[in-house]
Amino acid sequence: MSKKDFLLGIPLGIVLGALAIFWHPIRVNRHEYSSKGHCIANLKQIDGAKQSWALEQKKVPTDTPAKTDLYGTDKYIRDEPFCPDSGTYTINPVGTKPTCSVTDHTI
């Protein structure tokens, strides 16, 4: 290996090392944001189903639908949604947004 080849390899090694260092946090954050976004989309879907249920059934904002009112093949959402981060959904009354037990998963 010549001195020129060796000197050209140093910047390449630095660039590859920097990419390796920065790649890991990007991958972790992308997963975190994608699962949070998925959960928020589920919460919005649940809220829409609640609103439709309330209109069709002539319910008031303090009424709370059961899971069986919202989820099922003949209901507003075919399959019960789940949080990708293992959170638990609470449907809540019609006048209150649904929630997830994971702290920053909110609408």
Instruction: Indicate the length of the chain as a whole number.
Output: 107
Cα–Cα dist 85/40, whole Å: 12
Residue-wise pLDDT for 78-88, tens only, equals 999 999 999 99
Task: Characterize the bridge pairing of strands 89-90 and 99-100.
Answer: antiparallel
Q: Quick one: which of 92, 19, 70 has its CA closest to 100?
A: 92
Cα–Cα dist 8/13, whole Å: 9
The SS3 assignment for 39 reads: helix
Output the tens digit of pLDDT for each of the chain's 107 residues. 566 665 566 777 777 676 666 666 555 555 556 899 999 999 999 999 999 999 999 999 999 999 999 999 999 999 999 999 999 999 999 999 999 999 999 99
